[in-house]
Amino acid sequence: MTRTGEAVTVVRGEREVFRRTAHLFESATEITCAANDLAGWGWRHGTDGGNAFAHTPTRDSRVRKLYRSSALLEPGWDQRMSLIRDLPGDVGVRVTTEELNETIILDGRVAILGGGRRAGERTYSILTLPDTVQGVQSLFESAWRSSTELDTYDAEVAEIRMLAPRVLDLLVQGVKDEAAARALGMSVRTYRRRVADLMAALGAESRFQAGVRARELGLV
């Protein structure tokens, strides 16, 4: 189903949104992307199983990708980053602990916003009105400026990334801090600090919320 308004076209399903924007992806020289997780814009479409980022940017291209910090904990993160780092052109990746409005902006002319799911299909809003696209671009630029370079963030959370699966498993099981610390071979103080770091990476305000978020991401 498609709904068209003065400033926005709303479509359902990845195949339809790509059908409408494939030519823009193919010719784009500047792509900005904000995603809360690896699946956010990881959709596949078309009979050949290609994806929206299948075209190879040129050396003159500029690609910026902004991810929520919890994405670093997902299986497949290192593989995704390896592919992104190998792209030609000016490629930048940053990380934020804030929840993002999932967005793709192509050459500052078209913005695609990810929406909710209905009957198993996600909705997407395609914006083409210049003032509206500029407003979305401004929101992205603000989030980009307040985010952290991937290499810097990755170095800061390297240990928690390594411990995350075990810590999450202990949290979900409801293991008390003292027993969990013994199981991991660390002090209770260090364990609690690692739990706090993990909650921050997941954007969670409580241990319960961290467990819920971990399940949503398939981490436990």
93: CB partners within 8 A, 6+ apart: 64, 65, 66, 67, 81, 84, 85, 149, 150
List the chain residues with pLDDT less than 50. Answer: 1, 44-54
Task: Name the strand (E) or helix (H) holding 160.
Answer: helix 158-173
Q: In the chain, what are the domains?
A: 2-149 (3.30.870.10), 157-216 (1.10.10.10)
Token pair belonging to 155: 């170095």
- pLDDT value, residue 32: 93
The answer to whether 193 and 159 have CB atoms below 8 angstroms apart is no
Least Cα distance to 129 among 1, 3, 2, 5 occurs for 5
Strand residue runs (E) in the chain: 2-4, 8-12, 30-35, 62-68, 90-96, 103-106, 110-118, 121-127, 148-149
Q: Which residues does residue 110 pair with via DSSP β-bridges, in sequence order? A: 106
Identity of the residue numbered 137: Q
- pLDDT value, residue 135: 95
Region for 13 from its dihedrals, namely left if φ exceeds 0, alpha if ψ lies in -120 to 50, beta otherwise: left
- The CB density around residue 35, as the number of other CB atoms within 10 Å, is 19
pLDDT in tens, 90-129: 889 999 988 899 999 999 999 999 988 777 788 999 999 9
- pLDDT value, residue 193: 87
- pLDDT value, residue 51: 47
- pLDDT value, residue 45: 39
